[in-house]
Structure 1
Amino acid sequence: MMETTNPASVSSQAQARENPLSYRPLILAGLVLGLGQGGFFDGIVFHQLLQWHHMFSSIETDMTIAGMELNTFGDGLFHLFDWLLTLVGIFLLWRAGQQAKDAWSGRVFLGALLLGAGLFNLVEGILDHHLLGIHHLKPGAHELLWDLGFLGSGVLLISIGVLLIQATMKESGTLTP
């Protein structure tokens, strides 16, 4: 049995090879926004709502006024960094939207956001929880398990993000981001 090929599909595939759309600006914007939002999630949920730790809680207890001042200052610096990442991500997203040659996809953008949030968890978890030891996700009993779970959530978010981006690129016939 002979397969028929849709001429419009062949034409659009040939045009895509000649003038490939790039997801790179959208991925970069989503990645930076994901890093900022991952930090905000960590700071709002773990530092403020659950109050499991503060930025320097393994260095100075938050049970004294001086310790609470240091930890509040550290949390403020942390949120400032998250805010700056978010502003840069918004600018990158705006700039990507100005380029007609760049591809747009909600699935690629979501994948990049998840990739950024996962990278945040992985990098922050390795640096702050394990290498520097300035705080743990949930100090006390089973703190290593909590810290490893945090790293695992980063790996999971990264994996989902990469799968979303790759699936969209495969469907669109794009070989590179």
Structure 2
Amino acid sequence: MTSEIHGATPPDERLSGRRRIWGALLLGVSLGGFFDGILLHQILQWHHLLSGLEGTGPLGDLRFQVMADGLFHAVHYVLAVLGMVLIFGHPRHAGAGRGRTIAGWAAIGFGGWHCFDALFSHWLLGIHRIRMDSPNPLVWDMIWFVLFGLLPLGLGLWMLRGEDGGDHQGRGRRTALSLAILAMTAAPVAALPAGDMLPKDHVLVVFRPGMDFAQIVAAVDAVEGRMIWTDVGQGVWLISVSPGQGPGTLYRHGAMLVTGTGPAVGCLDWMRPAA
């Protein structure tokens, strides 16, 4: 007598169900990482991933901070792709399943990421806090922990207890597809360097370690630019670029990050020894 006669779920469907759960969970985790990176690292600029290490030698160098943020986003990009493979990769059950189940596990992944980040990154290791400039960083940590950690976790658990109505597979596919589109929209946004709201002819530039002032001046001259501002450590420069000159030219003159030039692949130059 077959398992279908007894009402049991066939083994291949049980495996497909587990794949969907893990896929939704990973999509939720990746969305949590993109949410943090886009909002806190880029828009609000409250911290870098390793802001707690500032002033501790090479690990506190702004160039390393930028590279760490980029690697953080890259890891979550991989998690998003893996989640979509798990959900849509099965030829027979691609994207099928209960919509509330997929959404619920995604919410658990989103909230679980923020709980993990608070416990591990904020309080155990101290590599960053939500607001590094706050006199009471624990207050901001707790607000973030509750709003984006505990509440999504609770919402996800509540959704797993509910029942879908109507076409389960149709709802599941639409829910999974919506999560995938959201993740793939967030991923390239997270890859954009901060500072895109500057005036059109202004760019923020981070030059390769080891460049002296004369080399930086030569790089600015290459785009017929003008130095406007630099930070105390002369790691970040605000430069006005002349009309008709492409700021991407700065990459050929020692820049590893130039805002407004697309995904910040130049940040990988940090890993190359200075000339």
Alpha-carbon shift at residue 150 of structure 1 (Å): 2.0
State whether residues 87 and 95 of structure 2, in contact with CA within 8 Å, keep that contact through their aligned partners in structure 1: no
Aligned to 1:127: 120
Aligned to 1:42: 36
Bigger helix fraction: 1
How do residues 131-150 of structure 1 correspond to structure 2 at under 5 angstroms? 131-139=124-132, 140-150=134-144
CA radius of gyration, larger in: 2
C-alpha separation between the residues in 2 aligned to 1:50 and 1:116? 23
* Residue 165 in structure 1 maps to residue 160 in structure 2: yes
**Matched residue SS, 1:145:** helix
Q: Which amino acid aligns with 1:74?
A: A
Aligned to 2:271: none
Aligned to 1:89: 83
**Matched residue SS, 2:127:** coil
**Matched residue SS, 1:18:** coil
State whether residues 101 and 159 of structure 2, in contact with CA within 8 Å, keep that contact through their aligned partners in structure 1: yes
Alpha-carbon shift at residue 95 of structure 1 (Å): 2.6
Alpha-carbon shift at residue 104 of structure 1 (Å): 1.1
State whether residues 60 and 70 of structure 1, in contact with CA within 8 Å, keep that contact through their aligned partners in structure 2: no
Q: Which residues of structure 2 form unaligned runs of 5+?
A: 165-275
Q: Which amino acid aligns with 1:109?
A: I
C-alpha separation between the residues in 1 aligned to 2:93 and 2:62? 50
- Cα pair distance change 1:100/1:16, threshold 3 Å: farther
Task: Give the TM-score normalised by the residue count of structure 2.
Answer: 0.50
Alpha-carbon shift at residue 54 of structure 1 (Å): 0.3
Aligned to 1:113: 106
State whether residues 126 and 151 of structure 1, in contact with CA within 8 Å, keep that contact through their aligned partners in structure 2: no
Alpha-carbon shift at residue 25 of structure 1 (Å): 2.6
- Cα pair distance change 1:78/1:16, threshold 3 Å: farther
**Matched residue SS, 1:147:** helix
- Cα pair distance change 1:40/1:145, threshold 3 Å: same
C-alpha separation between the residues in 1 aligned to 2:136 and 2:6? 53
Alpha-carbon shift at residue 107 of structure 1 (Å): 1.7
State whether residues 121 and 127 of structure 2, in contact with CA within 8 Å, keep that contact through their aligned partners in structure 1: yes
Alpha-carbon shift at residue 70 of structure 1 (Å): 1.6
Bigger strand fraction: 2
Aligned to 1:6: none
**Matched residue SS, 2:153:** helix
Task: Give the TM-score normalised by the residue count of structure 1.
Answer: 0.76
In the TM superposition, structure 1's runs of 4+ consecutive aligned residues that sit over 6 Å from their partners are none
> How many equivalent pairs are there?
151
Q: Which residues of structure 1 form unaligned runs of 5+?
A: 1-14, 170-177
Percentage identity across aligned positions? 31
Alpha-carbon shift at residue 26 of structure 1 (Å): 2.1
C-alpha separation between the residues in 1 aligned to 2:79 and 2:26? 6
State whether residues 20 and 102 of structure 2, in contact with CA within 8 Å, keep that contact through their aligned partners in structure 1: yes
**Matched residue SS, 2:145:** helix
